[in-house]
């Protein structure tokens, strides 16, 4: 598996207040034959994220067609789980609608932030989203207290399946108190009601690793494949790769991922948050580079 890097395809220019910087967490879906829509969280001048999108050509994702003029999903009401930011996680076509599972950010004095997963629907291919409810669908629980987010959610047969970051503990990284979390697995009959606790699927390897960022999961024949973002003390984020026969028991194959940080440039310090789209023109991976999106969004093409 080799991914050929095609470079940065988009970064903000600071001209709009709500999308001042950091196009973060690319979450892509092909909305028609000619267009891939990449949903992103854009930060304002106070580092609060709102959900918008960038459209690129399906035949050549380096060519930007359109940039959203206003948020597709704004922050939540004061006191809600998403009142300090929203970030896209998984977008799934469900009939004529799009489901957007998103991370809601809420600040707390001692844990710094809580990250929980909400759900919104769109009937216009993501131009606008409407919240399913004001509370998360992956709500905090006594077993998963601080983080139930970073979710890759797919419809697999009659079940909705989620691989998400789950955690209840805090550690110190780069002088800051941050949550530590693992990948948990859960199932739902409707994609709305989920168990209060998932089954551990992928655990960080101490002492360097302490979390996994939003993965991309797909089913290919009789196996599942996952591209996950490994959060470490030494390298910030790197993309890893694993396979599983059942979605629960995973074999890490990080040395087969076929993409890594560059020797210099926009993705030399960090690389993460893969989102993959396959079409008649190829197989494309969208991802963030240095500083959690401050250097923009890039794309790589799979070379068979």
Q: What's the pLDDT score for residue 1? A: 81
- What digits encode the pLDDT tens for the residues 40-63? 999 999 999 999 999 999 999 999
- Structure-model confidence comparison of residues 110 and 163, the more confident one: 163
Q: What's the pLDDT score for residue 127? A: 98
User: What is the pLDDT of the chain when averaged over all its residues?
Assistant: 97
- What digits encode the pLDDT tens for the residues 225-268? 999 999 999 999 999 999 999 999 999 999 999 999 999 999 99
Q: What's the pLDDT score for residue 176? A: 85
Residue 110's pLDDT band (cuts 50, 70, 90): confident
Average pLDDT over residues 106-132: 95
Report pTM: 0.97
Q: What's the pLDDT score for residue 175? A: 86
- Asked if 275 and 285 count as a contact pair (C-beta separation under 8 A), the reply is yes
Q: What's the pLDDT score for residue 112? A: 86
For position 214, which CATH number holds?
2.115.10.20
For residue 121, how far is the Cα from the chain centroid? 17
- Asked if 267 and 261 count as a contact pair (C-beta separation under 8 A), the reply is yes
| Strands of 203-235, DSSP E | 209-220, 223-232
**3 state DSSP class of 138:** strand
- What digits encode the pLDDT tens for the residues 171-221? 998 888 889 999 999 999 999 999 999 999 999 999 999 999 999 999 999
**Into how many domains does the chain fold?**
1
For residue 169, the enclosing domain spans 2-303
Over pLDDT 90: what percentage of the chain? 96
Cα dist. 142→88, 145, 147, 188, 193 in Å?
25, 5, 11, 19, 17
């Amino acid at each position: 598996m080799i991914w050929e890097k095609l470079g940065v395809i988009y970064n903000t220019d600071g001209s709009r207040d709500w999308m001042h910087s950091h196009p973060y967490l690319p979450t892509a879906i092909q909305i028609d034959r000619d267009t891939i829509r990449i949903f992103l969280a854009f930060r304002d001048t106070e580092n609060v994220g709102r959900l918008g999108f960038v459209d690129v050509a399906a035949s050549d994702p380096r060519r930007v067609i359109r940039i959203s003029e206003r948020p597709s999903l704004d922050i939540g009401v004061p006191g809600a789980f998403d009142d300090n930011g929203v970030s896209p996680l998984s977008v799934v076509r469900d009939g004529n609608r799009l489901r957007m599972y998103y991370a809601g950010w809420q600040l707390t004095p001692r844990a710094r932030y809580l990250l929980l997963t909400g759900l919104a629907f769109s009937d216009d291919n993501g131009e606008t989203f409407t919240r399913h409810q004001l509370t998360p669908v992956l709500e905090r629980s006594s077993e998963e207290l601080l983080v139930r987010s970073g979710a890759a959610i797919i419809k697999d047969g009659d079940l909705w399946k989620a691989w998400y970051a789950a955690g209840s503990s805090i550690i110190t990284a780069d002088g800051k108190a941050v949550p530590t979390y693992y990948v948990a697995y859960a199932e739902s009959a409707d994609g709305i009601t989920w168990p209060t606790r998932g089954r551990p699927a992928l655990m960080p390897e101490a002492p360097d690793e302490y979390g996994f960022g939003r993965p991309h999961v797909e089913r290919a024949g009789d196996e599942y494949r996952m591209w996950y973002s490994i959060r470490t003390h030494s390298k910030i984020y790197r993309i890893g790769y694993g396979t599983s026969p059942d979605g629960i028991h995973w074999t890490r194959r990080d040395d087969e991922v076929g993409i890594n940080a560059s020797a210099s440039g926009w993705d030399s310090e960090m690389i993460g948050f893969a989102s993959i789209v396959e079409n008649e023109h190829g197989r494309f991976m969208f991802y963030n580079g240095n500083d959690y999106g401050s250097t923009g969004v890039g794309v790589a093409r799979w070379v068979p």
